[in-house]
């Protein structure tokens, strides 16, 4: 998409965030559009929480608008603003990608967790039938937990500093998937096949570890949601102990494709 390529026929896509300046989605999505020959462009829309509903009403009337990605702080609010939400989004209570239907109706999806699972699969690892240790019980953890449940894992153990949040996520998961064994775990990931950090611990150099690094075993797969730094202390420790590791960035690449597909920019 060069300047000459944006014409009156180009479809518009957006990313809604506050703040906006740090988002990387325009570069990544526009590169994907270029690779697929899509006559579309994704542009940043900076909107605060109290302007979100009004902007959304306006975007319903933009006939050549294909949809948008919602990120911080809009994911939770978007669920109620959509006309239709996919089951995964309703379960998680958040939306991060919205398709504008002809006529202006908005269909929301939550692709954070599915992007994570697709990233694992793209790296050749299928989480089906595996046991999972999940560190974290916030938004990212919730999305990943539901996506893993949908991907057919054998069981999941959730660990969180405030235990009541882990219990709440476990209860929500058990309610949605009564046949999935769910438990609350402590600091050690011992004995589980797939070990996931879905907390923000590891972004800063002086963060404590999100789980007991000393308990990692060589037959475990260790996955990270943090994208920056690319090699977190957890991933370094896991690699040193002979574990297979999965960094956070492939999740983004997988998710961008899922988003483009949800917005029907690509098929």
41 interacts with a copy of itself by CB under 8 A: yes
Nearer to a copy of itself, 22 or 204 (CB): 22
According to DSSP, the residues that pair with 69 across neighbouring strands are 15, 97
Q: Which is nearer to a copy of itself, 82 or 135 (CB)?
A: 82
Applying the rule CB under 8 A, the residues between 136 and 175 that interact with a copy of itself are none
Using alpha carbons only, how large is the chain's radius of gyration in Å? Answer: 19
Nearer to a copy of itself, 56 or 156 (CB): 56
Residues with Cβ within 8 Å of 207's Cβ and at least 6 positions away in sequence, in order, are: 200, 201, 233
- Out of 36, 37, 38, 63, which residue is the one contacting a copy of itself (CB under 8 A)? 63
Interface size with a copy of itself, residues (CB under 8 A): 46
- Pairing state between β 221-224 and 244-246: parallel
Examine residue 42 and tell whether it contacts a copy of itself (CB under 8 A): yes
Rule CB under 8 A: say whether 51 interacts with a copy of itself: yes
The reply to whether 31 sits near a copy of itself by the rule CB under 8 A is yes
Stretch that binds a copy of itself, among 49-57, 112-120, 133-141, 241-249 (CB under 8 A): 49-57
Q: Which residues are catalytic?
A: 75
Q: How far is CA 130 from CA 14, 91, 149, 169, 217, in A?
A: 37, 22, 11, 19, 15
Going from the C-alpha of 15 to that of each of 23, 124, 190, the distances in angstroms are 8, 30, 39
CA–CA dist 196, 182 (Å, integer): 15
User: Does residue 47 bind a copy of itself (CB under 8 A)?
Assistant: yes
Query: CA 44 to CA 74: how far, in whole Å?
Result: 14
| Residue ranges in contact with a copy of itself by CB under 8 A | 1-4, 6-10, 12, 15, 17-18, 20-24, 26-27, 30-31, 33-34, 41-48, 51-52, 54-65
């Amino acid at each position: 998409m060069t300047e000459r390529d944006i014409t009156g026929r180009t479809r518009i896509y957006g990313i809604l965030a506050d703040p906006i300046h740090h988002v990387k989605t325009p570069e990544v999505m526009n590169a994907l559009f270029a690779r697929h020959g899509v006559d579309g462009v994704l542009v940043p829309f900076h909107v605060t929480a109290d302007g979100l509903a009004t902007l959304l009403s306006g975007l319903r009337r933009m006939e050549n608008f294909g949809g948008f990605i919602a990120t911080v702080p809009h994911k939770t609010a978007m669920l109620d603003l959509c006309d239709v939400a996919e089951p995964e989004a309703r379960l998680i209570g958040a939306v991060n990608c919205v398709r504008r239907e002809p006529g202006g109706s908005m269909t929301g999806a939550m692709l954070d967790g599915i992007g994570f699972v697709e990233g694992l699969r793209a790296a050749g690892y299928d989480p089906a039938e595996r046991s999972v240790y999940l560190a974290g019980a916030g938004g990212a953890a919730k999305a990943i937990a539901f996506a893993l449940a949908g991907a057919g894992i054998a069981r999941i153990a959730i660990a969180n500093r405030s235990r009541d949040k882990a219990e709440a996520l476990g209860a929500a998961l058990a309610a949605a998937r009564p046949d999935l064994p769910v438990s609350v775990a402590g600091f050690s990931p011992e004995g589980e096949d797939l070990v996931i950090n879905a907390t923000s611990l590891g972004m800063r150099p002086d963060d404590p570890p999100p789980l007991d690094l000393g308990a990692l075993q060589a037959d475990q797969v260790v996955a990270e949601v943090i994208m920056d730094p690319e090699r977190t202390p957890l991933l370094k420790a896991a690699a040193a102990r002979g574990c297979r590791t999965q960094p956070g960035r492939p999740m983004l690449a997988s998710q961008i494709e899922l988003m483009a597909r949800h917005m029907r920019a690509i098929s």
